[in-house]
Amino acid sequence: MGGDFAPRAPIAGALQALGALPPQHYIELVGQTSVIEAELDALLRGDFAPLARVRDRIAIVEAPDVIAMTDKPSVALRGKTNSSMVVGIKRVADGHAHGFVSAGNTGAQMAASLVHLKLHTGLTRPAIGTIFPTAKDPILVLDSGANMDCSPEELVQFARIGTVYARALLGRDNPAVGLLSVGEEPEKGNAAVKDAHQRLLASGLNFLGNVEGRDIPNGRCDRGVIDVVVCDGFTGNVLLKFYESIGPMLIGMVAKVAALDAREIARSLTQLDVDEQGGAPLLGVRGVSIISHGKSSPRAMENAIMVALRAYESGMTDEIGRRLSDTMPTTSGNAA
């Protein structure tokens, strides 16, 4: 029920995902049953008629409340306990579903995930991990919006979480971590970044040192290839929104100069299409919770479902828990 184009985009994305997946996969649509059924029927009578064969692999779970994009997370959790957001995440926590995907209120999804899925031992906050395309292989940037301010120790935690993700889902054997700053020298950056730099040097991770914004599109710095970039959520979200605007701008410029069809260029540069990424996992919680952009199209929702499936099948969340327990002391006041 969440997102700028709900419920059509999530339902259409679910149909497309099931059409591409083997028959053992099922999807639950959580929300207001009458609204979902009406939209589902309309889609299957129209352009999505060829996907009528997957209808029996869709279940509808009633959740009468709707969390608006403007609702404060705390208010939404207390006052809308029967929302699609809360009910869906609870189904993951209770073992009835393997992953949750939403394009709704990000703050509410993070809060509900914290309350019902809980954090792995040793963590104080989760982080949103977003895949950024580069001139080389894609890199993982975290946090890209969950935490506006972070302590040095939390930045180190993000580096540990990101390293596990890069191994499990990106196939990197010894992921190289960069700390985003305003210069590559250890003394550059704000107080939290300078402290985190020193902690990362002693962390046992494959730490490259500070990296700058210009290194991210290249996928490397002068010390080697980058697999994971760590920053606070304020910086990461600004970077993400800037990155999202680059693709359309470049395509428009090239099309104008070369007198080419922008649509053809866009099709050849799918790595710059935010819809291709689908969604970003909330890393650090004990379950799969995928956060999609509020403006997600059906294609984006389909890809977000695929991200959730890969995250579950890779055992990523369990692996994060195992590796954290091996390398981190338990933190007092942990939400787990």
List of E strands, the chain: 27-31, 58-62, 100-102, 127-128, 130-132, 139-142, 176-180, 206-211, 220-221, 224-225, 228-230, 279-283, 289-292
Q: In the prediction, which pLDDT does 333 show?
A: 42
φ, ψ dihedrals at 217, nearest 5°:
-60, -30
pLDDT at 51 over 90: yes
Q: What is the CATH number of domain 1-123+284-324?
A: 3.40.718.10
Per-residue pLDDT at 233 exceeds 80 = yes
Preceding peptide of 4 cis, ω within 30°: no
Higher-confidence position of 252 and 126: 126
pLDDT recorded at residue 208: 97
Cα gap 200→334, rounded to integer Å: 21
pLDDT at 270: 53
Q: Beta-strand (E) ranges in 37-105?
A: 58-62, 100-102
Q: How far is CA 222 from CA 193, 211, 214, 215, 216, in A?
A: 20, 9, 11, 9, 12
pLDDT: which is higher, 241 or 190: 190
Torsion of CA 81, 232, 169, 60, to 10 degrees: 20
Maximum mean pLDDT: which of 251-260, 261-270, 272-281, 296-305: 296-305
Quick one: tokens of 31? 């929300």
C-beta separation of 181 from 210 below 8 A = yes
CA-to-CA distance for 21 and 169, rounded, in angstroms? Answer: 19
Q: What is the pLDDT of residue 251?
A: 59
Q: Provide the token pair at 123.
A: 């963590």
Per-residue pLDDT for 1 more than 70? yes
pLDDT tops 50 at residue 206: yes
User: What is the pLDDT at residue 210?
Assistant: 97
Q: List, for residues 55-70, the tens digit of each pLDDT value.
A: 999 999 999 999 999 9
Question: What whole-number distance in Å separates Cα of residue 83 and Cα of residue 74?
Answer: 13
What percentage of the chain exceeds 70 in pLDDT?
A: 88
Q: In 190-225, which positions are buried (b, 16+ CB within 10 angstroms) versus exposed (e)?
A: eebbbbbbeebeebebbbbbbbebebbeebbbeeeb
The three-point CA angle 148-150-151 to 5° equals: 160
Percent of the chain with pLDDT over 90: 71
Whether the pLDDT of residue 29 is over 50: the answer is yes
**Spatial distance between the Cα atoms of 287 and 89, rounded to a whole number of angstroms:** 9
Q: What is the pTM for the complete model shown?
A: 0.86
3-state secondary structure of 12: helix
When computed from its CA atoms, the radius of gyration of the chain, rounded to whole angstroms, is 20
Q: What is the pLDDT of residue 256?
A: 58
Confidence of residue 30 (pLDDT cuts 50, 70, 90): very high
Confidence at residue 319, expressed as pLDDT on a 0 to 100 scale: 85
pLDDT at 267 over 60: no
pLDDT tens column, 71-81: 999 888 889 99
What average pLDDT does range 86-105 have in this prediction? Answer: 96
Q: Is residue 161 within 8 Å of residue 127, measured between CB atoms?
A: yes
Which residues, in sequence order, are CB contacts of 41 under 8 Å at separation 6+?
Answer: none
Q: What is the pLDDT of residue 226?
A: 97
> pLDDT tens, 125-176?
999 999 888 888 889 999 999 999 999 999 999 999 999 899 888 889 999 9
- Give the mean model confidence (pLDDT) for residues 180-199: 95
Model pLDDT, residue 122? 84
**Out of 50-54, 95-99, 319-323, least confident range:** 319-323
Q: Which residues pair with 83 in a beta bridge?
A: 65
Q: Domain residues of the chain, as ranges? A: 1-123+284-324, 134-276
d(CA 136, CA 139): 9
We find that the CATH architecture of domain 134-276 is: 3-Layer(aba) Sandwich (3.40)
Least confident span in 24-33, 50-59, 170-179, 317-326: 317-326
198: phi then psi, degrees, rounded to nearest 5: -65, -40
Q: What is the pLDDT of residue 263?
A: 59
Q: Is 177 in contact with 210 (CB distance < 8 Å)?
A: no
Which pLDDT belongs to residue 168?
82
> How do 228-230 and 176-180 pair as beta strands?
parallel
Instruction: Tell me the CA distances in angstroms from 266 to 134, 178, 249, 255, 299, one per residue in order.
Output: 16, 30, 11, 10, 15
The reported pLDDT for the residue numbered 335 is 40
